[in-house]
Amino acid sequence: DSGVTQTPKHLITATGQRVTLRCSPRSGDLSVYWYQQSLDQGLQFLIQYYNGEERAKGNILERFSAQQFPDLHSELNLSSLELGDSALYFCASSGDETQYFGPGTRLLVL
Amino acid sequence: EDQVTQSPEALRLQEGESSSLNCSYTVSGLRGLFWYRQDPGKGPEFLFTLYSAGEEKEKERLKATLTKKESFLHITAPKPEDSATYLCAVQSGNTPLVFGKGTRLSVIA
C-alpha cells in the first residue's frame, strides 16, 4: 500500500459526459501528479501540482483540467469525453523526487 | 528531449532462470533513474532510485545498476510471483518523469 488513495476505482460513462477523479496523496506529500495509461501509449504525464499551485504540464488535453485543494487532495476533471479517453488514470504523490502511485481509476467511455 | 527505451518488450523465464532487463536513456542531466513494478490493472510500485553511474541497489531477488547510458535490472533465480511489467523512468532537472514502455516479465513454474 503506497498511501495514495484514488476514487472511484472504476467509472463507466458515455461520450460527451464529464467525470471527476479524486486523489488523496500520502501524508505530508505536497506534490501530486496525474498520469494516463493506455495499452499502446504507456504512462503519459498529464499535470503536476505542488502545494496548490500548478507546477508542470504534460500532454494534457484542453478538455481536461485539474486542481489541488488546501487539504492537498487533487481532482482531475475530464469533459466532453471521447472513446479514446478510455484508460487507466493514476495519481502519484511525492515529498522528494520519488513518486508513489495510487491504485488508479479505470475509465471506460462507451 | 528525455527518452527512455526498454528492452526486451517481453521476457519469458523458467523459474530459477536468471536474466536482466535493460533501460537505455538519453537525458540532458540525470537527476534520478527510477524502477517500478506494475501488476496488471494496478498502480506502479516503487522499487529503486539510482542517482549516479556506478551505483547499485538490491532488494530480494532484484538488483539495479546504472551507467551513464543505461540501467539494468538483474533478476536472480526468479519465482512466478516476480511476473509483472517492470517500468523504468528518468528525471532531469525539475522536469516530470519520462517513462519507458516497460518489459513484461513472465516467470513459469
DSSP of B34-81 = EEEEE-TTS--EEEEEE-STT-EEEETTEEEEE-SSEEEEEE-S--GG
Q: In this structure, what C-alpha cell is assigned to residue A53?
A: 499551485
pLDDT given for residue B88 in this prediction: 97
pLDDT given for residue B26 in this prediction: 94
Cβ–Cβ under 8 Å, residues A104 and A34 = no
Measure Cα distances from A80 to A11, A15, A29 in Å. 15, 7, 31
Kindly report, residue by residue over A25-40, the tens digit of the pLDDT: 999 999 999 999 998 7
Q: In this structure, what C-alpha cell is assigned to residue B53?
A: 553511474
CA distance A22 to A68: 10
Would the CB atoms of B43 and A104 count as touching at under 8 Å? yes
CA distance B107 to A45: 30
Q: Give the chain A residue whose CA is nearest to the CA of B97.
A: A45
Q: Give the chain B residue whose CA is nearest to the CA of A39.
A: B101
Q: Which chain B residues are closer than 8 Å to A101 by Cβ?
A: 36, 43-46
pLDDT given for residue B102 in this prediction: 96
Query: Which mean pLDDT values do the consecutive 10-residue runs of chain B (109 residues) have?
Result: 94 98 94 96 96 96 96 98 97 89 97
Name residue, grid cell 487507466. Answer: A88
What pLDDT band is residue A110 in, cutting at 50, 70 and 90? very high
Q: Which of B97, B103, B104 to mutate to test the interface with A (most CBs of A within 10 A)?
A: B97
Q: Which among B8, B5, B11 is positioned nearest to B24, based on CA atoms? A: B5
pLDDT given for residue A97 in this prediction: 84
